Amino acid sequence: MASVAIASDDVTGYGVADDMLIPIAYGVATAGFIYDNWELIGKMEKEIEGILSKSRKESQGYVYELRAIEEGDYYNVRTKQYDAHLKPGEIWKIGETTKGERRYKIDSYEQKNFMMIPVFRGTKTEILVEEKRRIYNYHLHNGCLPPGNRIFR
């Protein structure tokens, strides 16, 4: 917000010297964001360290997003109610799979109501880290988990 005000005088050409303050404004905003969310960011980093420390069979898979097909009220796994109003294309769940399209049964709620969009491919370890990063990122931007995710997993 501060950078918009600082740059707004550029149209006239007067006061463009204050444009060097824009990186400082972004730095202050970033520091404030990290300060406000340091516990959550620390929790994410600790969980990622745990994922990286485990030995596992490195099969291939992908991280996916289940996105709403139609506008409507969808089931929220945390409230156990149909109180999540989504528009077409909005994220209901972020997950990972090594089974591909076979992740959900053909008659499941997920298969009937959402399109599965692969967003990252990699080894099992890589997709577990990326899934966690995307879920935390969603929470940091929206203040809550996607309605289809129970926990930060």
Q: What is the pLDDT of residues 68-82, one digit of tens each?
A: 999 999 999 999 999
Contacts of 34 (CB under 8 A, 6+ apart): 41
108 in a structural domain: yes
153 in a structural domain: no
Predicted local distance difference test score (pLDDT) of residue 90: 97
Strand pairing partners for 129? none
Which structural domain range is residue 78 located in? 60-142
149 in a structural domain: no
**pLDDT tens digits along 96-143:** 999 998 999 999 999 999 999 999 999 999 999 999 999 999 999 999
> The tokens 């926990």 sit on which residue?
151
Predicted local distance difference test score (pLDDT) of residue 40: 79
Predicted local distance difference test score (pLDDT) of residue 25: 57
The radius of gyration of the chain from alpha carbons, rounded to an integer in Å, stands at 20
Query: Which class for 63: exposed (0-12), middle (13-18), buried (19 or more C-beta within 10 A)?
Result: buried
11 in a structural domain: yes
Q: Same domain for 65 and 134?
A: yes
Q: Give CA–CA dist 6/16, Å, rounded.
A: 8
Q: Same domain for 127 and 69?
A: yes
Q: Same domain for 65 and 16?
A: no
Tell me what percent of the residues of the chain surpass a pLDDT of 70: 76
68 in a structural domain: yes
- pLDDT at position 29 over 80: no
- pLDDT at position 32 over 60: no
Task: Please give the model's pTM, rounded to 2 decimal places.
Answer: 0.71
Q: How many domains does the chain have?
A: 2
First to last CA, the chain: 33
Query: Which class for 65: exposed (0-12), middle (13-18), buried (19 or more C-beta within 10 A)?
Result: buried
- pLDDT at position 67 over 80: yes
Q: Same domain for 64 and 47?
A: no
